[in-house]
Amino acid sequence: MKHWWIGLLWAWSASVAWAQPPVPLLWKVSDADNSVYLLGSMHLLTEADYPLAPVVDAAFADSAQLVFEVSPDNLDPARVGQAMLQAATRTDGKTLEQSLPRATWKALQSYVQAQGMPVAALQNYKPWFVALMVIMGESQKAGVNPAQGLDAHFMQRAATAGKATSGLERAESQIALFDGMGAKAQLQFLQETLADVPDFKQQLNALLVAWRHADEATLERLGLKDLRRDYPALYQSVNVARNRAWLPRLEALLRDSDRDNALVVVGALHLLGDDGLVRQLARKGYRVQRLR
């Protein structure tokens, strides 16, 4: 299982009630005037993942604004869906079947037919999008509720509390991360996704358990090392380049003495490792405090 894309988009939780709130991946970064809270998110969770730890609620209460990967104003489902379909539609004159090795096409046929879907409906799409469709289907079967994601949770709370919100990038740039994958990487992504279907729930649960316990070493091993090893170019675009682009935005929040504190909610993997935002800000001399 290549866990990096799970951390980017999806997470699964068993439908049980946890005895304690999740241990948050939460840091407070400060300069002389302001503080920025960095909260590591899983973008889709379940009702069982709430309530959150009191320290997270305190960070929300102490923040006048919330910053997400993508602003709520840029997340209109119809517009984003149209942009994704436009990016995913083939323009090379080939069908999906013609672009895949025979064994991969047969495996995809078997999977799609088992779901009661016509495989012909996929012929006009690129492999990366078909892989995401498989993941979305398996996630739905696993009981994921998109409205329970940490991002959605805080977007709703911010709206209710009248707090300002903004984004670090646009939805189109996230779509471009997948559409920018080369043909070889797209094929590898689809093949691995199909191969991992039997263990989907178990492996997603392993990642979520690590997130719930704030097990940074396990999250980094599952989410970053595979990506860095197997998709080095994608690691640079998904993780390194985005973190580098976001860093000046976070520093601006800290430098502006006219701004109040901010809570920044981004995918957990963006905060971890040597290329993560936490260590980068620490190396720049900001005070970094781990909150639990």
Write the CA distances from 120 to 83, 123, 137, 188, 248, integer angstroms. Answer: 22, 5, 17, 21, 46
Which residues are CB-neighbours of 135 under 8 A, at least 6 positions away? Answer: 5, 9, 10, 193
**How is the chain split into domains, by residue range?**
4-78+144-171+199-291
- How does DSSP assign 250-286, residue by residue? HHHHHH-TTS--EEEEEEGGGTSSTTSHHHHHHHTT-
Tell me: the pLDDT tens digits for 70-117? 999 998 889 999 999 999 999 999 999 999 999 999 999 999 999 999
Position 144 confidence tier, pLDDT thresholds 50, 70, 90: low
**What pTM, to 2 d.p., does this model score?**
0.90
Tell me: the pLDDT tens digits for 150-203? 999 999 999 999 999 999 999 999 999 999 999 999 999 999 999 999 998 888
